[in-house]
């Protein structure tokens, strides 16, 4: 991942792989988790980078651009992030246990993708 410095901020840019079809733009606040701003076709990758560079100094935190294989893969990654958070951050032991079981059952994205194709 490349980190591009602007006058008062940063833009984090992931390098696309041959299988990627979309680019996700995330905003990081000064506190709290990052937020998904938009998802665009990978054909708009350079336009997304240019926009991020032009806007970074107006934002409270960095802008992050991440290519993904598909919107479905992105949604899976976001969901897994939430489940992972519950697994370790919940105060309720039952919630942590259920989240851990869910996390382990869903963690293998390539297998899930192959099952969906059948």
Q: pLDDT digit string (tens) for 48-76? A: 999 999 999 999 999 999 999 999 889 88
Q: Name the residue with higher pLDDT: 110 or 56.
A: 56
Q: Which of 13-27, 38-52, 54-68, 77-91 has the lowest mean pLDDT?
A: 77-91
- Quickly count: other Cβ atoms within 10 Å of residue 67's Cβ: 19
Q: What is the pLDDT of residue 107?
A: 65
**Does the pLDDT of residue 106 top 80, yes or no?**
no
Sole residue written with tokens 């560079």: 53
pTM recorded for the entire structure: 0.75
Task: Output the DSSP codes for 4-71.
Answer: EE-SS-EEEEPPPPTT--EEEEEE--SSS--EEEEEEEGGGHHHHHHHHHHHGGGSSS-EEEEEES-H
| pLDDT interval class at 117 (50, 70, 90) | low
Nearest to 86 by CA among 94, 96, 76: 96
């Amino acid at each position: 991942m490349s980190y591009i410095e602007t006058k008062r901020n940063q833009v984090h840019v992931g390098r696309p792989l041959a299988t990627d079809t979309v680019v996700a733009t995330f905003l990081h606040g000064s506190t709290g988790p990052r937020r998904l701003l938009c998802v665009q076709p990978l054909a708009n990758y350079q336009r997304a980078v240019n926009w991020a560079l032009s806007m970074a100094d107006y934002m409270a935190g960095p802008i992050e651009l991440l290519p993904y294989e598909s919107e479905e893969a992105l949604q899976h990654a976001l969901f897994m992030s939430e489940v992972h958070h519950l697994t370790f951050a919940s105060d309720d032991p039952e919630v942590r246990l259920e989240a851990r079981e869910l996390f382990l059952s869903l963690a293998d994205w390539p297998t899930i993708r192959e099952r969906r194709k059948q």
